[in-house]
Structure 1
Amino acid sequence: MSRSAHQDTRAALLQSAQRLIAERGLGTVSVKDITRAAGARNPSAVHYHFGNVEALIKEVFAQRYRAIEQERALRLAKVDEAHPERRLVALMAAAIAPFMEACLDEDGRLYVRFCLQFSSDPRFNLLEVVTEFGMPSLISLRAQVVECVPDIPETVLNARLRQAFSISLVQAADFARQLEAGLQIAADVAVSEASATLVGYISAKVG
Structure 2
Amino acid sequence: MAIDDSRTALLDAGERLIAERGVEVPLRDIAAAAGQRNNSAVHYYFDSRAGLVEAIVERRMNWLEDRRMHLLATHESDGTAHDLRTLVAMLVLPILELTGQRRVTHYGRFLEVVRAHPVIADIGRLAGADRAAVRIITTRLAAALAHLPPPRRRQRLETMATVMFALIADYERALETRLRTPAPESDAAEIVAMIVAMLTVPAR
* TM bracket (short chain): 0.7 to 0.9
Give the superposed CA RMSD. Answer: 2.5
> Can you list the C-alpha shifts for 1:22-50, whole angstroms capped at 9, x where unaligned?
222223x1111112222223332211211
**What is aligned with 2:97?**
101
What is the rounded CA distance, in whole Å, between the counterparts of 1:170 and 1:187 in structure 2? 17
**What is aligned with 2:110?**
114
The answer on 1:49 being equivalent to 2:69 is no
What is the rounded CA distance, in whole Å, between the counterparts of 1:45 and 1:133 in structure 2? 30
Contact 2:80 2:86 in 1 (8 A): no
Aligned length in residues: 201
Q: Give the 3-state SS of the residue equivalent to 1:21 in structure 2.
A: helix
**What is aligned with 1:186?**
183
**What is aligned with 2:163?**
167
Q: Higher helix proportion, which one?
A: 1
> Can you list the C-alpha shifts for 1:135-174, whole angstroms capped at 9, x where unaligned?
2112111222233222112232222112111211111112
Q: Which runs of 5+ in 2 are unaligned?
A: none
The answer on 1:149 being equivalent to 2:145 is yes
The answer on 1:127 being equivalent to 2:123 is yes
What is the rounded CA distance, in whole Å, between the counterparts of 1:59 and 1:133 in structure 2? 16
Pick closer, same or farther for the CA change 1:129–1:193 going to 2, 3 Å: same
TM-score normalised by L of structure 1? 0.84
> Can you list the C-alpha shifts for 1:83-126, whole angstroms capped at 9, x where unaligned?
97xx2112111221111222226842212221211113244224
The answer on 1:24 being equivalent to 2:24 is no
Q: Which runs of 5+ in 1 are unaligned?
A: none
TM-score normalised by L of structure 2? 0.85
The answer on 1:202 being equivalent to 2:199 is yes
- Which ranges of 4 or more aligned residues in structure 1 deviate by more than 6 Å? none
**What is aligned with 2:135?**
139
Q: How does 1:40-79 map to 2 (within 5 A)?
A: 40-79=36-75
Identity fraction in percent: 27
What is the rounded CA distance, in whole Å, between the counterparts of 2:129 and 2:86 in structure 1? 25
What is the rounded CA distance, in whole Å, between the counterparts of 1:194 and 1:132 in structure 2? 19
CA offset at residue 6 of structure 1? 2.0
